[in-house]
Amino acid sequence: MRMLVTVEFIDASVHTGPHPLVVVGREPNQASPGDIGLTLEEAKHLLNCVQCEFVVAQAEGLVERSRTCARCGRNLPMKDVERRRIHTLFGRIALSATRLKSCTCDGSKPRAIWPLKGWLTRCSNELRYQAARLGSDHSYRKAAALLQELLPVHPLYGHVRVREAVLSVGARLEQEADLPLIKEYRPLDSEEPFASIAFDGGYVRRTRKGPRRNFEVLAGALQNGHKIKVFATVYPNRATLPERLRRFAATAGLDELKHVDVMTDGAHSLLRLRGLLRFKTRFVLDYFHVAMKLRHMDQCIGRIPPMRLWPEGSLFEHYDRSAYLRAYIWTGRREKIEESIQTLLALLDRVAVVSPDHSPAAGMAAGHVVDLWGHLRANADGVINYQAWKRLGRRISSSGVEGTVNRLIGRRLGKDQQMCWTKRGAHLLLQVRCAMLNSELLPVFRRWCGEVGGHTLGSCWLWRPQHS
């Protein structure tokens, strides 16, 4: 069975009417079991033919509307015709770009007029959007391969063009004064709206060889109500970081909030970010890293069998003290934490006296307890009642930021691979990737280029053919 595909334009000026495109199909005796419908190559070729006819009709319509002089109404003479090629999502289109001569009815000298100026570009907006979206999620070569495999994108639109699309979109996002505020990120309707922001860092291998082979990437996640928004930058310096954080907070709708909880793992390089935020903040120690230290402590204490360390003590006293310490930290009882740690250290010292065979396990457990004690003392202001915060639905851990770092840096910037980046290339890529993870890339493209990623389809029964 073979099918003749014909398109018909209803309001395309000189291109109005039916236009045969291509014959698609196979002979009936060539059908095999499972040979159903069109193949991928047939569908790609059909889309390319439809795109070619549509673009040519668009160009002819623009030229035809510019051919008449606005003053005297005479037709403008043609100057020349240039051959242009455009990369679109459905193939490369060869187009005849007509230039006209201006009318001399106003006494001026004739000059060249290009009706397609401003409309004709090297790449369509839809292809640039899809290339930026795929290029921010996959490597540039893989993104180009996906476009060429599933769509009739021309092979000349390779990984270099995909990289150019990602960097151009990232540069425009960077130059934007303020991104559009999405209504979903507004705070909850409560008496005391809360928000929390967490920071973490990662390292990316740089292209330039030398003593410093890596550079730091600062990533953050902001929770406003129940919505989370991500942020990343390669330039965490005091000159530009305050403005970047201000824009990030403004796009998340933090202008009306009075207090923001800054959550970090206690690193001094991240705590200094509190002074760069232009609203009231409160430091909260991340429970995720505290729980990791507690787990290491529990694993070492679990190697010690039940034993009576004091004549009047219990067989499970060291287990109970470990559970008490965890409970005191979970409920934020600071006055009990230090007392419980000192008691637990005394019990672990007693293990070495009562059972010398288990002295190594007790020494390792004591080392983890001292490490936890120093971590809590250095960040005593950030210890809160994690249990109460959890019941209120607030964030108590920066594990989401750890996942954000893996999504932003590990998956795309090749933390486990031998990828090398420049600072500018990594920063602009991160802006596109953050916009995609925040569901902002498509709204921004539509604000720039109109109907990108949308559809303008009509019902076929409302169509009135030209011959009717």
Crossing angle between the packed helical segments 140-150 and 159-175, to the nearest 10 degrees: 110
Question: What strand order describes the sheet that includes 280-285?
Answer: 227-233, 214-224, 195-205, 259-264, 280-285
Mean pLDDT value across residues 388-400: 80
What three-state secondary structure class fits 134?
Answer: helix
Phi, psi angle pair for 262, to nearest 5°: -95, 115
Pair (306, 425) in one structural domain? no
- The tens digit of pLDDT for each residue in 238-265 reads 677 777 877 787 777 776 555 778 887 7
CA–CA dist 242, 344 (Å, integer): 44
Distance of CA 7 to the CA centre of its chain: 39
Is position 467 within any domain? Answer: no
pLDDT value at residue 140: 92
Is position 369 within any domain? Answer: yes
Domain boundary among 89, 122, 155: 122
Pair (101, 132) in one structural domain? no
CA–CA dist 18, 105 (Å, integer): 38
pLDDT value at residue 458: 63
Is position 459 within any domain? Answer: no
Burial code (b: 16+ CB inside 10 Å, e: under 16) for 169-196 equals bbeebeeeeebeebeebbbeeeeebbbb
Q: Are strands 214-224 and 195-205 parallel, antiparallel or unpaired?
A: antiparallel
Phi, psi angle pair for 271, to nearest 5°: -70, -25
Pair (295, 360) in one structural domain? yes
- The tens digit of pLDDT for each residue in 408-447 reads 777 788 766 667 888 899 999 999 998 988 888 888 888 8
- Residue 224 tokens read as 């406003």
Beta-bridge partners for 83: 96
> 162 falls in which pLDDT band (50, 70, 90)?
very high
Pair (341, 414) in one structural domain? no
Is position 458 within any domain? Answer: no
Pair (140, 281) in one structural domain? yes
Pair (269, 159) in one structural domain? yes
Pair (109, 252) in one structural domain? no
Is position 103 within any domain? Answer: yes
Phi, psi angle pair for 49, to nearest 5°: -65, -45
Is position 132 within any domain? Answer: yes
Lowest mean pLDDT among 38-42, 174-178, 279-283: 174-178
Domain boundary among 122, 144, 165: 122
pLDDT value at residue 226: 66
Pair (375, 420) in one structural domain? no
- The tens digit of pLDDT for each residue in 96-115 reads 888 988 888 888 888 888 88
- Using a 10 angstrom Cβ sphere, with 0-12 exposed, 13-18 middle and 19 or more buried, the burial of residue 70 is exposed
Pair (219, 133) in one structural domain? yes
Pair (219, 319) in one structural domain? no
* pLDDT > 70 fraction of the chain, expressed in percent and rounded: 87
Pair (118, 148) in one structural domain? no
Whole-model pTM? 0.78
Is position 393 within any domain? Answer: no
- Residue 37 tokens read as 């419908």
Domain hosting residue 330, numbered range: 288-382
CA–CA dist 58, 345 (Å, integer): 80
Pair (218, 295) in one structural domain? no
CA–CA dist 369, 290 (Å, integer): 11
Domain boundary among 87, 122, 157: 122
Is position 154 within any domain? Answer: yes
| Secondary structure in 3-state letters for 206-268 | ECCCCCCCEEEEEEEEEEECCEEEEEEECCCCCCCHHHHHHHHHHHCCCCCCCEEEEEECCCH
Residue 342 carries which DSSP code? H
Tally of structural domains, the chain: 3
The angle at the Cα of 385, spanning 379 to 389, to the nearest 5 degrees, equals 115
- Residue 392 tokens read as 């209120």
What three-state secondary structure class fits 90?
Answer: coil
